[in-house]
Amino acid sequence: MCCRRIIKNPIQMDNPKKILIVDDEAILLELLRTKVNREGFTVIEAHDGAEGLEKALTERPDLILLDIIMPKMDGITVLKNLRKDPWGKNVPVIILSNLNTAEAVEDSIANGVYDYLVKIDYTLEDLVAIIKKRLEVSAKQ
C-alpha cells in the first residue's frame, strides 16, 4: 500500500471538513488536492478504488470525490461496498469521472450519489462550489 498522505491547510477553520479524493490520474489528483486544500478543507488522497474504500472506512471523511474508472477496484464497486457499511451508507459521494454512460449514471444514482459530474464539464471553482453546497446540505440532515 502506498504511503498515507493527509494535507492540512494551516490557515483553515477550527474544525475543517475532510474530503477524500479517489482518482488514479496523478495530475488531476494534484490539482484537486491543491484547490480543495486552499479552500480550507483537509484532503485525504487515494490513488485507486481499493485504497479509496479502505481510507473512506478508516478516515470517515465528510465527503468523497470518486472517479469510476480506476485500477484494483472501479468507483461503482467502491460505492456499492461503501453503502454496505453503517457509516458509509450516508456519506455524501460526488462522482467525478470521464465516463458518461447511462449505465454508470444509473448505477451511481441507485447507490445514492449526490452528484454525477463529467470532468470536462466543470472547472475547479465549480467543483469547490458543489462541495461546499453538499457539505452544507449534509450538515443540516
Residue numbers of the domain that contains 121: 6-140
Q: How far is CA 76 from CA 2, 118, 128, 136, in A?
A: 22, 15, 22, 25
Residue pLDDT, tens place only, 92-138:
998 887 777 777 777 777 767 777 778 878 888 888 888 888 888 55
**Counted domains in the chain:** 1
Residue 60 lies in a domain: yes
Residue 1 lies in a domain: no
Q: By the 8 A CB rule, do 45 and 121 touch?
A: no
What pLDDT score does 2 carry?
A: 47
Q: What is the pTM of this model?
A: 0.81
Residue pLDDT, tens place only, 62-88:
999 988 888 899 988 998 999 999 999
Residue pLDDT, tens place only, 28-66:
889 889 988 888 899 999 999 999 999 999 999 999 998
Q: What is the CATH number of the domain that holds 40?
A: 3.40.50.2300
